[in-house]
A and B are shown apart, each in its own frame.
Chain A
Amino acid sequence: MTWASHLPIIVVLIPLLTAYITPMLGWMDKRICNPLVIVSTSFAFIASLLLARSVLTRGVISYHMGGFAPPFGIALVVDYFGAYMCIVISFLTLMAAIYSREYIAKELHESKTAPYYTLLMLMTGGMMGASVTGDLFNMFVFFEILSISSYALVAITGKKVAILASYKYLLLGAIGTSFTLVGIAYLYILTGTLNMADLSVRLASLYGVGRSSWTLLVALAFFMVGYSIKAALFPLHTWLPDAHSMAPSSISAVLSGILIKVGALALIRVLFNIFQPEFVVETIPVTSMISWMAAVAIIVGSLFAISQVDLKRMLAYSSVAHIGFIILGVGLATGYGTTGGILHIFNHAMAKGCLFLCAGAIIYKTGLRNIDDLAGLGNKMPFTMAAFTIAALSMIGIPPTAGFISKFYLGLGALETGTWSGWVFIGAILLGSLLTAIFYMRVINNIYFKEPLHREDVQRDETPLGMLIPILILAGGCVIFGIFPRIPLSLAEPAAKLLLGI
């Protein structure tokens, strides 16, 4: 076997191995943690790229853990979607890691540096593991790694509100965990297997057969609820605004940027990899149900975001709306729609990551969180604010930023359904982006067009370079991938086609 065939496990191992040695190294010298994490995420990113290349050239990769052929052993299955997620995850984590260097030094107590990086790497490893696995129970295990580390990371500042936010997240997350466990049990009792590919084959004979189809439906419902909680799909999003706004900003960026998308990944896996598309689309219209829910999420999330005064909270509610965009695309179950949803995972990760990092930079420099207090920052931190503006435009979906491309694909997907509900969905998409414009424009207005409260605030006082670089890279990505959308689409499109079986 060539070394390249081991890439599926390598992308998981790199962050996890880093996590295991970080506490010991951090104990010796805290300054080692950050470079170590940066180097390891860079390697993970490179490995993900190689993995994607290998998937593109060789097709879906199946890796037999321990040499046992599935379904007897655990298999890692990397399809286009999994490879795509790996790239997004490692890229955004790399950005967060670079950003953390200076941000964490100020934000966190020294004694928490090593746990912070350990948990960050565990979370990354968990997300990677959940993305590449082809085993239902294994996905559950890796979901727990990422969930538990994210609960801890939300509360790591030890601030009063953060702890409560983390608690709320944990409570709902634990319910979600239990629900997915029940779902797994039901599928297992019906089929006797946990391997996704095997499940989908064996479940196909059970659709609509007697009473066991009830069990099947309940299993599906429990999976939907369980993973919707992790993905923060409306109406199970209630934990998100608190958790994402109270976490350290570098973590918020990762949480909002990719963690909830891993929940979406799990939903996609359950819908299309375990249950067959024809079952969830036609036999029982689960996908159209979640599309409706997602449409509501878009509108409601945006409306809530409009009423926020806290910048990070507003961003968090915006994530609720945008996970709606992603799930809507997935639920449309059409070529363009699902491609758009998957593409939006990447585009939203970059834009929201950038926004949260900018919010963190604002807090780092000025301590301000309230949107109305941000007046005059356009002069004070021009580069940060320019990046913020670009990312905000990407969220709204203004061309030539990346957000436009996904919005366009989602619109095409909605029309592709050819039903009246498609018209409603495209209405929701367009209305959602207009509502998004309202609350981002409010911030931009404050930044650029309002007199600062204090005259001395207008002195230029840019974010430190170490924090500025990831912000600018992400903002640049928003533009570059808007002009050259083929780059992410080269993975997103086959991913959607493979999932839908078209």
Chain B
Amino acid sequence: MIWGPDIFILAILVVLAIAAVISRDLLVATVIFSGYSLLMAVAYVQLNSPDVGFTEAAVGAGVTTVLFILTIARTARMEEDGS
């Protein structure tokens, strides 16, 4: 049995994912999501896939985040109340 990505990384990933989902401030959520992607990239590299890690870092943490931010800039920053 190998312990490729530390079980820690996986745990933090789950925590970050939950945080990104429940955060009501979309900008905060996006930043958390960016961190999540970066950590995911680290996990990929740990799993011996530097190519994917590289791409995920550039796309997930980079471009996707920028696109999310642009969207938030052009729409609303906060989630509306469910009522």
Q: Is there direct touching of A and B in the complex, by C-beta distance under 8 Å?
A: no
